[in-house]
């Protein structure tokens, strides 16, 4: 089944060649998509950027959960055999509900606090949106892995919007990053956890500000490996070893979103309006 080529799923078991559905509040989930493509080069991928509602971080749990359910329904209706929630805030708000509702693999994303706590010898900072940091899911993660090291949480206002505009470098972006990261370095942080899927696109500037001695962790590789394991476990891993394609959708302005997707993903990418 080609990406975006089905208007609905026939009753019964998904096929090996059906696509994997992925969604985020905007273009940030492309940081997860790139790891999915590297790990699973034969899989077709459907990506939805809910750009009309970005960012999710300041919106209520009920609203984010409703959006997640609507986007999941769209992707499964287009034949997705699995779902990747490529958004920390949406994972925290909706992953349990999605797994209860759908029998297919549903993979979420969470801040890489476990590996950070394991490798840090000082202080760990979790950079994430307000919605993620205030969630019960993150609270449980912090309770489990935040005891061995000091953990600082840092909402990063403006970062998501900067990535959505495709402004990944330049003086304004550097000032935004310095405003959040410099005080963390002054407190002895040796590990930065990127707890929003938009933030890996700012890694170059974050590295310039933080310096080479500070570890920067993101969850994309772990998410991709987990998707492979889950597809293998249920017999839905594509038998194609290459040639996977992508289709992109947005609830926002497809022309504006396409400009950013072409910068973050590939020059020839096109984006359809989400129905």
Domain chopping of the chain, boundaries: 20-109+221-273, 113-218
In 3D space, the residue among 211, 218, 208 whose CA is nearest the CA of residue 173 turns out to be: 208
Cβ-proximal residues to 81 (8 Å cutoff; 6+ apart), any chain: 14, 15, 16, 18, 19, 20, 104, 105, 231, 236
Indicate the CATH number of 113-218 among 3.40.50.1860, 3.40.50.2300, 3.40.30.10, 3.30.160.100: 3.40.50.1860
What is the band of 10 on the pLDDT scale with cuts at 50, 70, 90? very low
Q: What is the pLDDT of residue 2?
A: 40
Q: What is the pLDDT of residue 275?
A: 75
Q: What is the pLDDT of residue 12?
A: 59
Structure tokens at 240: 């194609």
Q: What is the pTM of this model?
A: 0.93
Q: Is 156 one of the catalytic residues?
A: no
Q: What is the pLDDT of residue 79?
A: 95
Q: Is 87 one of the catalytic residues?
A: yes
Q: What is the pLDDT of residue 8?
A: 44
Indicate which residue of 87, 94, 193, 209 is catalytic.
87
Structure tokens at 97: 């509900």
Q: What is the pLDDT of residue 13?
A: 72
Indicate which residue of 64, 196, 210, 247 is catalytic.
196
In degrees, rounded to 5, the angle at the alpha carbon of residue 73 between the alpha carbons of residues 136 and 201 is 60
Q: Is the pLDDT of residue 153 over 90?
A: yes
User: What pLDDT digit, counting tens, does each position of 200-252 carry?
Assistant: 999 999 999 999 999 999 999 999 999 999 999 999 999 999 999 999 999 99
Q: Are 218 and 227 in contact (CB under 8 A)?
A: no
User: What pLDDT digit, counting tens, does each position of 104-146 carry?
Assistant: 999 999 999 999 999 998 899 999 999 999 999 999 999 999 8
Cβ-proximal residues to 198 (8 Å cutoff; 6+ apart), any chain: 26, 27, 28, 31, 159, 160, 163, 164
**Stretch 179-190: mean pLDDT, rounded?**
97
Q: Is the pLDDT of residue 166 over 60?
A: yes
Other beta carbons within 10 Å of 189: 23
What is the band of 148 on the pLDDT scale with cuts at 50, 70, 90? confident
Q: Is the pLDDT of residue 14 over 90?
A: no
What is the band of 7 on the pLDDT scale with cuts at 50, 70, 90? very low
Cβ-proximal residues to 200 (8 Å cutoff; 6+ apart), any chain: 31, 194, 218, 220
Indicate the CATH number of 20-109+221-273 among 3.40.50.300, 3.40.50.1860, 3.40.980.10, 3.20.20.70: 3.40.50.1860
Q: What is the pLDDT of residue 1?
A: 38
**Topology alike, domains 20-109+221-273 and 113-218:** yes
Residues for the chain: how many in total? 275
């Amino acid at each position: 089944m080609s990406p975006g080529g089905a208007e609905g799923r026939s009753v019964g078991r998904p096929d090996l060649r059906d696509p994997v559905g992925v969604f985020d509040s905007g273009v940030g989930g492309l940081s997860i998509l790139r790891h999915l493509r590297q790990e699973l080069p034969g899989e077709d991928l459907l990506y939805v950027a809910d750009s009309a509602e970005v960012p999710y971080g300041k919106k209520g749990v009920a609203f984010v959960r409703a959006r997640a359910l609507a986007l999941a329904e769209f992707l499964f209706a287009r034949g997705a055999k699995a779902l990747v929630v490529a958004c920390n805030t949406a994972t925290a708000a909706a992953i349990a509900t999605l797994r209860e509702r759908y029998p297919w693999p549903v993979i979420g994303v969470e801040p890489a606090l476990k590996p950070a706590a394991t490798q840090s010898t000082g202080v760990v900072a979790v950079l994430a949106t307000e919605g993620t940091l205030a969630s019960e899911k993150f609270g449980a993660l912090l309770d489990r892995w935040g005891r061995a090291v000091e953990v600082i949480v840092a909402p990063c206002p403006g970062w998501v919007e900067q990535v959505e505009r495709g402004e990944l470098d330049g003086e304004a972006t550097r000032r935004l990053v310095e405003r959040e990261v410099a005080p963390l370095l002054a407190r002895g942080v040796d590990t930065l956890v990127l707890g929003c899927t938009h933030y890996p696109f700012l890694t170059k500037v974050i590295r310039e500000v933080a310096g080479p001695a500070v570890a920067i962790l993101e969850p994309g590789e772990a998410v991709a490996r987990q998707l492979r394991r889950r597809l293998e476990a249920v017999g839905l891993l594509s038998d194609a070893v290459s040639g996977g394609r992508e289709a992109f959708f947005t609830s926002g302005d497809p022309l504006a979103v396409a400009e950013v997707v072409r910068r973050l993903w590939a020059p020839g990418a096109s984006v359809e309006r989400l129905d």
